[in-house]
Every structure is written in C-alpha cells, then in structure tokens.
Amino acid sequence: MGALECENQNTVEITAYKDLLARMDAIDAWLNSRGLNQQMDRIRRNRTDVGQLSDAFDEGRLDKFIAAAGDDRRRELMWALAESMEFVDSVEALRQQGCEIPERVLRTALDGPADLLSETERSNAGRNTMFEIAMAGRLARAGLHPTLGEEPDVYVEYNRRKIFMQCKRVFSAAAVSRRLVDAARQLRRDLGKSCSPHDCGIIAISVSRLFNPGDKLLVARGEDGLREKLHAEIDGLIRANIKDYRDVKEPKIVGVLYHLSTPAFLEGVRMYIGAHSVTVVHIDGKSDKALLHDLAGSLGTH
C-alpha cells in the first residue's frame, strides 16, 4: 500500500501541567499583543481547564478531581489538555521559524465550542483552521518555513520544490472518500496555477474526530503501549481507505498525510496527556516517492 511512516510518527510527550500553563500564558500575551484579547475564546477556556488539572495534580487529588467531574466536564477537560498541547507546540514552532500566522487565521482557529461533542458541521471552522495550524506547525518543527492562510491551506519549500497541502477534517468514515476528492480537486487547481512543473501536492486528513467523537480516552500502561495503540488505529484507517486513492487522478498529488490527536491516560505515571500521530502514505503509481519519504523522515525526527 506504499505507507511511509514517520520515524517518530506517534508523539507521546509528557509535559508537566505547570509548564504547559506557562507556555499557554506566553501565547496568551502574544495573542493580546495582536489585538486578539477576547476572553471567551476556546483557547482561553482551555487554559482555565488546564489550570484546574494542574492544581489538582500538584495537590495529589487529580484522580478524585477527574472522577467527580462528571462525563460532560471530564470530556471537556481532556480535550482542553490535548488541544492546548498541540496548539502551543504548533504556534511556538511557527514563531521560532519566523512564520507569519495571519490574524484572520488565528481569530477563526480560536472560535468554536470547547466541548468537542458539541461541534457540528456549522461550528467546525475553528477546529478545521486549528488543524491547518497544526500541519504548518509540524513542518516548522522539522525546521521548515511553511506558509498558511492562503490557497492552498499550507505550502512549504522543500528540497528546492514547493509542496502544496490541502487540509480536511472528517467526522465519519463515509466522509473520508469525499474529503479526499475535495482536496484533490483543490490541489489540482493549486498545482495548475503554480509556476513550476516540479511542485507537488499532499492531502492532509485529520481522522481525530472519526477515531474519537469526543467521549473516548486512550489508555495505556506506558509510552510504548500508547504508541502501539496509535499505530494500530492509524494503520487500520489507512487500510480501510486505500481503495479511495484511485479517485485521486492528478499525477502530481503524491500522497496522503493522516493525523490523529486524542486525549490519553498513562497508567504508569497517572497522567492525562495529549497523544498525536502523523503517518504519510505514498499513493501507488505516483512519482516523487523519494521526496515523500524524505519529508516523512523530517517530520518524524524533529
């Protein structure tokens, strides 16, 4: 099936809650400096939730706090943690690389319901845009300098070539095929406008909502076990969707990137974390397999 997995495709980073809070506060100050000081946006609400998790952990009552929260509140707390970790990682990487994050992109990304289970097709613009930031952040963490907020959603120069990326989030298994076709159509347009015949495209699909509608917690004993579970989930999704690649007709669309993000619990250290998986798949019959392999390696080693 041509799967090219990043060397470190399943990211399990244990971050102290206090450290995450400090990083969120730094980004909050930066958002305020850009005039984005609305106090009821999703990231600010997430900061409050992470603060409560941090206090409970420091006081040795995290398990009791989570148990007493109730299903709805527990779900919101877990997703606040997972989304905050990815947002902070992404924004920090983009800023370190000197990449511009347009104000309208940030403003849209901060919107939407804090509770993932409350998200609908009408209120998903915030997390859709957050996914674009996450993809650009992945590239920035690899030492690259991506551009976002234009068409395509993200693009980057790599090995003296431009790689275009259209990003889609899916809510159901039935939507994967449609989103692949939509992204392929958009990339065909983008590649048609490019000035170089050497440019190529990648379809980025977030399967986080498909894997976890908002009420699931991935549990593992330790980091290795969590990586194995993430690998099994994403591998199953790839195998289920491989038949849809035949609908990607454009020869310069060389692969699909699958992204999975979910709250998780490590039993060994009694900590709730955000777990993230990225897998790059080459579409059989397309050129640039070596280029995609190199990019996958770059994404997996930074």
Q: Which string of DSSP letters, residue by residue, matches 62-130? A: HHHHHHHS-HHHHHHHHHHHHHHHHHHHHHHHHHHTT----HHHHHHHT-S-SSGGG--TTS-HHHHHH
pLDDT at res. 10: 52
Domain that holds residue 203: 3-300
For residue 25, the SS3 value is: helix
Convert the pLDDT of each residue in 252-287 to its tens digit: 999 999 999 999 999 988 889 888 888 898 888 888
pLDDT greater than 50 at residue 1:
no
Residue 107 CB contacts under 8 Å (≥ 6 apart), including other chains = 36
Q: What is the domain count for the chain?
A: 1
* Antiparallel, parallel or unpaired: β 154-158 and 253-266: unpaired
Of the pLDDT bands very low, low, confident and very high (cuts 50, 70, 90), residue 5 is very low
**End-to-end Cα, the chain, rounded Å:** 25
Angle in degrees, CA 136, 132, 27, rounded to 5: 70
Question: What is this structure's pTM?
Answer: 0.92
Cis, peptide link before residue 152, omega less than 30° from 0: yes
Tokens of 231: 């690998």
pLDDT, tens digit (0-9, with 9 covering 90-100), for 133-147: 999 999 999 999 999
pLDDT of residue 105: 95
Q: Please give the average per-residue pLDDT across 232-252, as a whole number.
A: 81
d(CA 26, CA 96): 13
